[in-house]
Amino acid sequence: MPRDEMYSSSGSEASNEQDWLNDSNDEDGEQETLQVISLCDDQIFPDAASMLAYCKDKYLLDFLAIRNRLQLDFHGTVKLINFIRQRVHEAYPVPAEITEEHLQDDALLKPFLEDDALILCLDDLPEPPASSTEAEQAAVAGLSSEDLVKRNAELQRELDTLAQQFNRYRLAVQQTLDTRWAEGDAEATTDGPSNSNKAAVQDASSDPAKPDNDYSESYFASYARNEIHETMLKDHVRTDAYRDFVYQNKHLFEGKVVLDIGCGTGILSMFCAKAGAKQVIAVDKSEIVNKAREIIFDNGLDGNIVCLSGRIEEVTLPVKEVDIIISEWMGYCLLYEAMLNSVLWARDKYLKPDGLLVPSHANMWISPITNPGYFPDEYITDHVDFWRDVYGFDMKAMQANIYDDVRVDVLPPDCLGASPCAFEMLDLHTVKTEDLVFDRPWKTTLSGESKCVYGFLLWFDMFFAPSRHDTTVGDAMTAEEWSAGGPQRTAFTTGPFGHPTHWKQGVVINKDYAEDSQAVAPRSELHGTVSFTIPESYTRGLNIGITWEIPDKKSKKTETWMLH
């Protein structure tokens, strides 16, 4: 909403309008009964005076101040009414400052509401005050330097007060819209959600995209703190990739409706708005969404971005479908946190048939750790043997089950002793939720220096294809290979051959690496399977199972690690 609405141009103007607001209520017996619908919500009033007073008191929308500031005539005032009603109806934020440019379209002369009683009452509104510019200039000219300093201080205090009032208004309106959309009580329109959304929300509890345990609440709460967002934003591999794709493909975003799932601080939403998106709907269950609203407003993008608080499966969007879904959903080993489930749910419900997912593809990789110089000499010493002597105290009790968990760490590429193997490729436009639980084969050839399988390293690559029909991303293609195809190709890796990211890599240690049975012959083929399953105790976690065979030993080894 405009900041200028809250200014009082002069004492006489304020008195004139207040007298009208008070006196008009005394004439009810002389006027035909009207039903004037509020500009800001669905409340109905018997006259324009009480409605405008209500909007001014509750929403800080001073309609008369806007009209007077823009010096609108009858037709301009009609346009202003229809402009505000249209923005509120379509769930778009009213601009921070309404200007003449907003009212240039002659289509705004057509009443947004049939028989709009407010338009019928325009002749009853108080006349705009006469311009006082010349008088003000003359008064200022007669002030001394000391008086000017005092006057400037007074104006600054008024401005600070108005800014605080506007912030309160902005939060009040956004909370009202959140409540209205979450309840799903609005009637279906050509631009709004269908009445079937209620049923969809009710069914969400049984959907795999909606975990039903208490861990989800702590999961969302963890994203309300600054530290995690600082870490992600400072991950330049991650953030630069999203920025580069959006800015290098502005033609894909211009004039489009974009859904940002798990918006966090709103950085991806702001990229999209800057690229020309008509509307960006930013959704987040975490309390960080309140900070996102403020950030978006502070950057002047509140006219293009609307924030919704809640799970994507539960909120009601102000549109039936979107052109693009953008989300940074990836977790450790790609699928940890199960956020992809929510993205796929939203894809099936809201994305247009020819819509785009950003990013578009993911490849998952595995490679055996065989370098004895690094593992176990360095890694085991630092992370396992460490507990044997901690400042002179024996803490080996901490070593219990130490090999059962997936460790999240950054390892150097020379710890590997074989070529990486891509064991799963996800096309995000077509993959289904049930595909995220799988058992896939893999194989590789060990290097000439490999003598033992100490464990395995897992990571993923992300691809940003500009079309859902792009066929250039291969099943075993690395991010580096695909990016080399041209400057417009955006991709990144979380693996050991690239710059470290906050996802790091998944490290799983072979519990029996010290046994002779785990010895391998150099240049031999190693093959097996990789499985990803979901633990019943924590549906946002992962159980990662790896099976491998050592041909010379004719033995098969199977282990499972937890990422909870």
| Catalytic residue IDs | 328, 337
Q: How many CB atoms lie within 10 A of CB 471?
A: 8
Strand pairing report for 455-464 and 490-493: antiparallel
Separation CA 492–CA 472 (nearest Å): 15
Q: How many CB atoms lie within 10 A of CB 108?
A: 20
Separation CA 515–CA 3 (nearest Å): 73
Q: How many CB atoms lie within 10 A of CB 213?
A: 13
Separation CA 40–CA 390 (nearest Å): 64
Q: Which residue has the tokens 């800014």?
A: 163
Whether 446 and 370 have beta carbons less than 8 Å apart is answered as yes
What are the b/e assignments for 489-519, b being 16+ CB within 10 Å?
bbbbbbbbebeebebbbbbbbbbebeeeebe
Separation CA 84–CA 228 (nearest Å): 38
3-state secondary structure of 113: coil
Task: Annotate 272-311 with three-state secondary structure.
Answer: HHHCCCCEEEEEECCCHHHHHHHHHHHCCCCCCEEEEECC
Separation CA 463–CA 459 (nearest Å): 14
Separation CA 243–CA 270 (nearest Å): 10
Nearest to 474 by CA among 240, 465, 466: 465
Kind and range of the H or E run holding 346: helix 339-350
